[in-house]
Structure 1
Amino acid sequence: MNPVRAWNRFWFAPISARPLGAYRIIFGVLVLAHLAFTWMDIDYWYTDAGLLRGNEARIVAGDLRYSPLQYVQDPIAVRLIVAGIAVVAALFTAGWRTRVMGVLLYLGQLSLYHRNMSSVCGPDTVRMLTSFYLMLSPCGAAYSLDARRAARRRGTAAEPLIVPWAQRLLQVQLALIYFATAAFKCHGATWLSGTAVHFVLFNAELRQLDMEWLASYPVLLCLFTYGALFVEFGLAFLLWFRPTRTWFALLGVGLHAGILPMVNVPLFGEQMVAVYLVFLAPDELASLLQVLDPRAWLRRRRQEWDALSARLDPAGALPGWRQLELSFESAETTAA
């Protein structure tokens, strides 16, 4: 295999736009959820009636982290700006003028990010990174109003294809986050000794629920600790390969679901799990959507009902409910 040709194919050979389009929708919903959480304490975090007042926000951010909210700090004006960002996020989610909305969404989130650096944590950093990559990508090529408009103009429905270099950057970023997290944990004695989860349970400042009762089962905590390391190292490498992708995606969902009650880090696990979508092949995404589609559940229930009706009346002359009613009447007559 020619390594140069393989490298170019990895970054630039056209692929389906559907996984990236599906991820755009989930990401937009998560951004809207973040803005909803922000709205609850907006005065404290982003106005001159809160934590940082006057030029304190500029001092904390430094000279290179500009934000208009460092100068516009009136509560009403800040609310209007955040509401505008929410409108942009909704249009981005729907896929209307996705390229323009992607840029505006990134700049809007960056203005919030730089306004109060004292509140920045992991979920904010992940959201800014993924927003940057989506701004560069053709994420509106599928599952969007832009794609629908393009299909109408073209006059035929075609499989949307994109050049994937921005999507590859998103994939590499996720792998680096998992690998760096697991590697840094291996520098700590508590993770290598299998006791790290014990200390997490007793961190009252970060925990969501009181789960100290798990400390009575040290073997279980040891399994949780080593299991987390195993899954994080695996996610860094094995999401790339189809035979292992499904299993490690499920393990990743389980990992973040297990973190959720232990550590209060809103919308972090949701963001990480959502990025798994960009690793999927089109047929894998179609299978996932079919599993999650409630119409498929109803269709299966109807098929089961039809099968039951056919057994009760092979000729199909009566409606299914009437067949079932007659069968009960026949059973009662026989018993009498």
Structure 2
Amino acid sequence: MATERTATPVPATGDVPRTDDAGPVPAARISLDAVITLLTHRPISLYAASVLRIGYGLCYLVFLLREFPHRDEIWGPDSPWTPALATRLFDQTGWFSFLTLSDSMVYFDLCYLAALAVCALFLLGWRTRAMSVVFALVVASFHARAIFMTDGGDNLILLMALYLTATACGRRWSLDARRIARRARTGRPGRWALWRATSDLWSQFGMARECLVTALHNCGMFVIAAQVCLLYGSAGLYKVQGASWQAGTALHYVVNLDLFRPWPALSALLDSYPLLLTAVGYLTVLIQVAFPFSLFSRLKYVLLVMLLGMHLSIAVLMGLPLFSAAMIVADAAFLPDRFYRAAARAAARALTGLRTPEPMTSFRRIPAVPRQPDNSRPLGQDAGPVLATEPVPEPGRPARAEP
């Protein structure tokens, strides 16, 4: 018995095939549209970007203030690494530093004071878009002037300062955000709002500018996250290749280095527990390797807490506060905005409670009032007078009516 076959109709030459069929081209188009929407529709992690701005601005401000008595020995004209040697190195590496433009001590002091002012303004978020570029120039200039005295913390701050120039890190918790909010409350439109209202050309220009700023911000935050993941992943993989890390004895040698022993008694105490040091060493490698793979799970928050403890231990035990602070601030980029909003609300409630405490009610004794005779009691069992105590209202507050 032959099987009946149905012929499949063949579309004519001029027919257009359906575009809603599942296939690689529509799927790729949908994915591309989703990526473009993600990059240009809404800026992500605005609070995290503001935390990065505040954190790195504060770190470098404290760093420059701490080294203020030794500024001439590190970056000044009388430094062992003279401006002439630095300029010769710049010819080979392509670096630049405005500190080498003059050998005058007055010029150097003025540059140092200007760098302190730039760090403070960047921390506060004043004209953040322009100030972020100036802050990156300051960090790059000081880094290049004494490049042989830098460490991993300086390198990370330099990279983050360059990345923050592309982000909108001044839209939250900044003087710029406060100025925009005040302008919105008073009803006075901003510069871009006036231009958009005048003509269609300015309207199109404003929309294009907003899309460009959003795309740059989102790309900058993605690059920052990728940089931190690369840092942790490479550090963990390099530790895996080391024989001392494989044997679990790496931290034993670390706590016995005189260069990294600010508290010798504490380092000796830790060295007396070799099993603990071995466990901490293996756990450190595991955390660093696992962190890039935990970004899309809740395990990320557990690892962030453990990384916070690790960096605080490095700051105390090894005497590297700048490096630890730079890493802690970088880890803050992975916390969601809802965490920072909740933290801000909790801090606001705590400050409000401290500023306006609840008024305390004072008490006083009033004269005894004889009790009215109770006909339901037998004769001779009257309770007698009662001493009543009632709250006295504060001045200006009405007394509470008793039911």
* Structure 1 unaligned residues grouped into runs of 5+: 307-314, 321-336
Partner of 2:65: 36
The superposition leaves residues 204-261 of structure 1 with CA deviations (integer Å, 9 ceiling, x where unpaired) of 01232210232222111101101111221233332x2352232121111101011122
What's the counterpart of residue 183 of structure 1? Answer: 237
Q: Distance in 2 between matches of 1:275 and 1:130?
A: 8
> 2:49 matched to 1:49?
no
| Residue type of the alignment partner of 2:148 | S
Task: Report the alpha carbon displacement of residue 193 of structure 1 after superposing the two structures with TM.
Answer: 1.3
* Equivalent in the alignment of 2:198: none
Correspondence 1:282 to 2:337: yes
Residue pair 1:98, 1:146 contacting (<8 A) in 2 also: yes
Q: Is the 8 A contact 1:208 1:260 kept in 2?
A: no
- 1:54 Cα deviation (Å)? 4.7
Give the counterpart of 1:59 among 85, 88, 105: 88
Secondary structure, aligned partner of 1:288: helix
Give the match's secondary structure for 1:80. helix
Letter in 2 for 1:40: P
Q: Name which of 172, 186, 194 aligns with 1:142.
A: 172
RMSD value, Cα: 3.1
Corresponding residue SS for 1:185: helix
Assess, with a 3 A threshold, how the Cα gap between structure 1 residues 219 and 98 changes in structure 2: closer, same or farther. Answer: same
Equivalent pairs, count: 309
* TM-score calculated relative to the size of structure 1: 0.81
TM-score normalised per structure 2 = 0.69
Q: Secondary structure at the match of 1:139?
A: coil
Distance between the aligned counterparts of 1:8 and 1:209, measured in 2?
Answer: 52
- Work out which of the two has the higher radius of gyration on C-alpha atoms and give 1 or 2: 2
Q: Which runs of 5+ in 2 are unaligned?
A: 1-26, 188-209, 361-388, 395-403
Equivalent position to 2:324, from 266, 269, 292: 269
Change (3 A) 1:4 1:205: same
Match in the other structure for 2:152: 122
Contact 1:11 1:168 in 2 (8 A): no
Structure 2 residue 252 is the aligned partner of structure 1 residue 223: no
> Does the C-alpha gap of structure 1 residues 252 and 278 become closer, same or farther in structure 2, counting only changes over 3 Å?
same
> C-alpha separation between the residues in 1 aligned to 2:330 and 2:390?
48
Q: 1:303 to 1:47 in 2, by over 3 A?
A: closer
Mapped pair 1:197 → 2:251? yes
Structure 1 residue aligned with 2:381: none
- Aligned mate of 2:104, from 68, 74, 96: 74
Task: Name 2:137's counterpart in structure 1.
Answer: 107
The counterpart of 2:350, out of the listed 256, 276, 296, is 296
Secondary structure of the corresponding residue to residue 80 of structure 2: coil
Residue in structure 1 matching 2:48, options 19, 28, 31:
19
1:246 aligns with 2:301: yes
1:14-71 C-alpha deviation (Å, 9 max, x unpaired): 1352221232122211121111123131111112212212511223444311212223
Q: Is the 8 A contact 1:60 1:118 kept in 2?
A: no
- Aligned-partner Cα distance in 1 for 2:48–2:179: 19
Native 8 Å contact 2:119 2:135 kept in 1:
yes
Q: Against the structure 1 CA distance between its residues 162 and 282, is the aligned structure 2 distance closer, same or farther, given a 3 Å change threshold?
A: farther
Structure (1/2) with the larger helix percentage: 1
Pair 1:318–1:234, CA change in 2 (3 A):
farther
Greater RCO (CA < 8 Å, at least 6 residues apart): 1
The alpha-carbon distance between structure 1 residues 162 and 204, as it changes in their structure 2 partners (threshold 3 A), is same
Of 9-18 and 102-111, the range deviating more from structure 2: 9-18
